[in-house]
Amino acid sequence: MRNNQVGAKLDRHGRCTWRVWAPLAQTAKIVLFGPSESSESAITMTRDSLGYFEGQCDDVQSGQRYFVRLDDRVSLPDPASKWQPDGVHKPSAVWCPDHFQWTDHAWQGVALSELVVYEMHVGTFTAEGSFAAIIPRLAELRQLGVTAIELMPVGQFPGERGWGYDGTYWFAVQQSYGGPSELQRLVNACHACGMAVILDVVYNHFGPEGNYLSQFGPYFTDKYDTPWGSAVHFDGESSKPVRDFVLDNIRHWIRNFHFDGFRLDAIHAIHDESPVHILAETKEVALLEAKPFNRPIHIIAESNLNDVRLLDDAEKSGYGLDAQWSDDFHHCVHTLLTGERDGYYADFDQPAEQLVKSLNDVFVHDGCHSPYRGANHGAPVGVHTGEKFVISIQTHDQVGNRAIGDRFGTLLSPAQQRLAAGLMLIAPNVPMLFMGEEYGESRPFPFFCDFGDEGLREAVRKGRREEFSSFAWPNELPDPMAKQTFESAILSWDWPAGSTNAGLRNLYVELLQLRRTHPVGQNYKDRLAELITSNGNSVLRLARGGADNQIEHLVAYFNLSDKLVDVPSLDELSLNVLLNSDEERFGGSAVGDEPIKQLQPFAFIITSRRGSNET
């Protein structure tokens, strides 16, 4: 049994090799179906000492349906199925990735320091909800300044619509989005227009519906608890095949789909006490897989731990990942502009001061007390510079996990939305936009799913009601199972000329262009944020750049209040004002080239001047 990867592998000549880990079974067969499931033939598989079964067959075509039959008692989809065209309960299908003709041979990827990430949900990004429908929109994203799209999970999940985090088949590609071949087309098209593609992968749990893994082997352990029940079995006895399952998955996405990176979902729920953590192994595998492509593969952890061991190298007992999320920036901006203090926002009761800390030090909670957790939380970032941290002002989580999924487009005024955009795009970190925020999308992004099991459907409804029972939300929450809840989230793609939506999008374009072209735009190290009081109100001053007097530096002033304020330290400003967020072209009211002496509520300006030793 020399084929290292699990699942079905079909070569160009029609020979298919199946490999399945099923140590709980004594015998296994591949059951091939003809035109209907009532017409079948079986291939007997051989078993090795680790519980891997292998079988082969010639003259197999892509699309061939099959089940794995265990001990002649139950027939199930392949745990490593690469295609589930008929849903999570139906037979798997053979798929040959080599049939696609890639044209991205000269693609060199995008460096970590050049990432501008755009998070999207395939099903609601367009009215069609498919990979194919994304391709015509790529030019608009590139013109916006995006250098990488990040796809929310595309592994096969139950039904036609969902966020993707309840996926059951990690190797398969959601059929309602277009299936695996259409995903290859999308990635190839992204590379052709100069954009990387990052995939959101979920290694902390499997979805509940269509989950037959426990009948194959010990994929789960009760040693740890997670929000989704038993943890995935990453350490201890019989854990190596489960670890290999994850590593095979990384290889699969890189080899067969040419992905440029991965966002690892909720790593706090990935429990592993092995000498080498599974997270570290994902990075090692990605490095090896990247070599033939001669380009970077970025591994980015979604984490609220404020723990840089994720980034530290092995000599410091770290995992060596490329970057991690920093939610503290989001929480500061959100509480500052909305005034909300529920849940974990209780930790951000001084948002202006804490925003300054996040700009200077990344983590607000870097070992200090967290009232929400009732304990000290986090640690300083140490030597790690700003490009190691991904920040945002909206994400699928922060929007979708609200009761009605309301966005900044309805929560904030246009000036506040512009301020939030400016803070994120001038900050010395990697920015991540959530689809539609660049033009102030007002349509919500509520939680939605499409379970077929009625018990699960009612459990989800009940859970949502209980979760928000103590909040001042409408009595009737959106039904996650209703098709109209999903349809309400489809982007409007609407920014009429002269509207505040168009103005906001213009601002994003210019801020990202400034970030890309200014001499200190890619300097993630030298910055100084501070609060200045003007007319009794807080103004945030952010200087980007070091002490080199030959380099033009950025100095931005953000009015964090709803009052008109004088521009502080006017005498230090050159006449070179690069951008004023209150200009008409951004949806504001400022006209002409008169010197700026005051900042409108929630407005900001960006200036340039020669360096000093202030930063």
Minimal CA–CA distance to 524: which of 363, 384, 319, 326?
384
Alpha helices, H only, 518-561: none
Beta-strand relationship, 52-57 and 40-44: unpaired
Q: Can you give the pLDDT at residue 549?
A: 61
pLDDT along the chain (615 residues), means of 10: 75 94 98 80 96 96 97 97 97 96 97 98 98 98 98 97 97 98 98 98 96 97 90 96 98 98 97 97 96 95 96 94 97 97 93 97 96 95 96 97 95 98 97 98 97 93 81 74 97 96 98 94 90 90 78 90 83 71 94 79 90 48
Tokens for 529? 């944020």
Q: Can you give the pLDDT at residue 148?
A: 98
Q: Can you give the pLDDT at residue 215?
A: 97
Question: pTM for this one?
Answer: 0.96
CATH superfamily for domain 7-99: Immunoglobulins (2.60.40.10)
Q: Where are the domains of the chain?
A: 7-99, 114-487, 526-610
Q: Can you give the pLDDT at residue 593?
A: 67
7-99 and 114-487 in the same fold = no
Cα 239 → chain centroid: 27
Domain 114-487 belongs in CATH node 3.20.20.140: no
β partners of residue 106:
none
Burial class from Cβ neighbours inside 10 Å (0-12, 13-18, 19+) for residue 86 reads middle
Residue carrying structure tokens 């980034």: 311
Beta-strand relationship, 16-21 and 7-10: antiparallel
Give the percent of the chain with pLDDT over 90: 85
Cβ–Cβ < 8 Å for 513, 334: no
Residue 322 identity (one-letter amino acid): D
Q: Can you give the pLDDT at residue 615?
A: 41
CATH superfamily for domain 526-610: Golgi alpha-mannosidase II (2.60.40.1180)
Which residues does the annotation mark as catalytic? 265, 302
